[in-house]
Structure 1
Amino acid sequence: MKVEVKTLAAKAAGDVELDDAIFGIADVRADLLQRVVRWQLARRQQGTHKAKERGEVNITKKKYGRQKGGGGARHGARSAPIFVGGGKAHGPRVRSHAHDLPKKVRALALKHALSSKAGSKTLFVIEDAAMKEAKTKAVREALAKLGLTNALIIDGDAVDANFSLATRNVPNVDVLPAQGLNVYDVLKHDQLVLTKAAVEKIHARLGAGEAA
């Protein structure tokens, strides 16, 4: 498919050919997108939640109450979970929430995410994402001309330093290099903006070479 290319000044700069195998999938599978989003969120979850169990609470180990004649059950220590100040029974422990997901599934889900943006006409291609000065006002004006309000901007190997600094204070706008392209961020934003360099990197990453 052909997509019009524009500059940051919203002027025409030709067009670019997008691979239909990456951007032209008609039947977008929501189950693949859900699996990858869940995988990403699980990987970044800290897993530092912790509750003290019976062997970790700081409490006396002295026998609580008499063996007989107390009118209740026999208890050997106050650290039992049924007592105030006792340990938590089967409480949360420090662990990793990450789980495995095949690379082919992740790559296929990324293709479906890109195709969903292209199919909904929320995919834009710009010539480059570079500025002479790191001015937030100038970036706001450029994004307004392009009609971008909630956008993920993907550049090539590296993001222009001035452009990155200028967009830092713009709400709902994130900038990533092509290597950082992921399903979660694509779906999180209403619009996806690719530079011509990013398109080349995506074709190289998800093209016939990786599929083979």
Structure 2
Amino acid sequence: MKVAVIDSKGKETGRKVELSDDVFQIEPNGHAIYLDVKQYLAHQRQGTHKAKERNEISGSTRKLKKQKGTGTARAGSIKSPLFRGGGRVFGPRTKDYTQKLNKNVKRLARKSALSLKSRENAIVVLEDFVLEQPRTRDFVAVLKALGLENKKSLFVLGDINNNLYLSSRNLERSEVITNSEISTYKIMNANQVVLLESALEGIETNLKK
């Protein structure tokens, strides 16, 4: 599969690159995509939610009143959930939400996601470019040139580029990552995936394993 390479001004360079059919042209597996996205979202949960139960409350252990003869219900502890400041019944507890997923399934999911984007013509190959300094307006100019200023976009770099990353950090709809950070969720969440030329080799090497 050959794709035209464009520059940061949105113009064609006259060159084309070959995208591997084993990565960008497979039959998408929807269930693999579902499992990988589900795992990614589960791993975003901290699981630190916790409410104290009656055995964790600090307070007196004395019996509040005599058992009989008061005309009211029995009460044995100030830490009872029935009283203000008492423990909570069946409250949330800390929990680990991490899920295991086979590496081959994750690899299949990412190739399926890229293949779906390829079918939708939502993948662009961009010539490598450099920003001289971190400046959001310079990155916004690139987005406008590519027609992505109002779309969710994912830029995939071949290597860490601090100027490019810092320039995009304030933009809610754009994200810049390296090819080693690529995930099924980020691919599916973007309207347009922008692959820099230097990222192609790393993506294909990682997903062909």
Normalized against structure 2, the TM-score is what? 0.90
Query: Residue 151 of structure 1 is aligned with which of 133, 150, 153?
Result: 153
Kindly report which structure 2 residues correspond to 1:39-118, keeping only aligned pairs within 5 A, or say none.
39-118=39-118
Gaps of at least 5 residues in structure 1 are none
Whole-angstrom distance in 2 between the partners of 1:168 and 1:129: 17
Pairwise CA distance, 1:30 = 2.9
The residue identity in structure 2 corresponding to 1:139 is F
**Distance of aligned partners of 1:173 and 1:129 in 2 relative to their CA distance in 1, 3 Å threshold:** farther
Tell me which residue corresponds to 1:3.
3
How many residues matched? 206
The residue identity in structure 2 corresponding to 1:156 is G
Pairwise CA distance, 1:72 = 4.9
Three-state SS of the structure 2 residue aligned to 1:186 is helix
Cα offsets for 1:105-142 (capped at 9, x unmatched): 11111111111111111110111142233333232222
Three-state SS of the structure 2 residue aligned to 1:55 is helix
Three-state SS of the structure 2 residue aligned to 1:31 is helix
Whole-angstrom distance in 1 between the partners of 2:45 and 2:83: 32
Whole-angstrom distance in 2 between the partners of 1:161 and 1:133: 9
Pairwise CA distance, 1:73 = 4.7
Three-state SS of the structure 2 residue aligned to 1:153 is strand
Normalized against structure 1, the TM-score is what? 0.89
Which aligned runs of 4 or more in structure 1 are off by greater than 4 angstroms? Answer: none
Instruction: Tell me whether 191-200 or 81-90 shows the greater mean CA deviation.
Output: 81-90
Whole-angstrom distance in 2 between the partners of 1:107 and 1:148: 28
Three-state SS of the structure 2 residue aligned to 1:194 is strand
The residue identity in structure 1 corresponding to 2:186 is D
Three-state SS of the structure 1 residue aligned to 2:56 is coil
Three-state SS of the structure 1 residue aligned to 2:75 is coil
Whole-angstrom distance in 2 between the partners of 1:205 and 1:115: 15
Kindly report which structure 2 residues correspond to 1:159-170, keeping only aligned pairs within 5 A, or say none.
160-170=161-171
Pairwise CA distance, 1:167 = 2.1
Tell me which residue corresponds to 1:201.
202
Whole-angstrom distance in 2 between the partners of 1:178 and 1:99: 23
Gaps of at least 5 residues in structure 2 are none
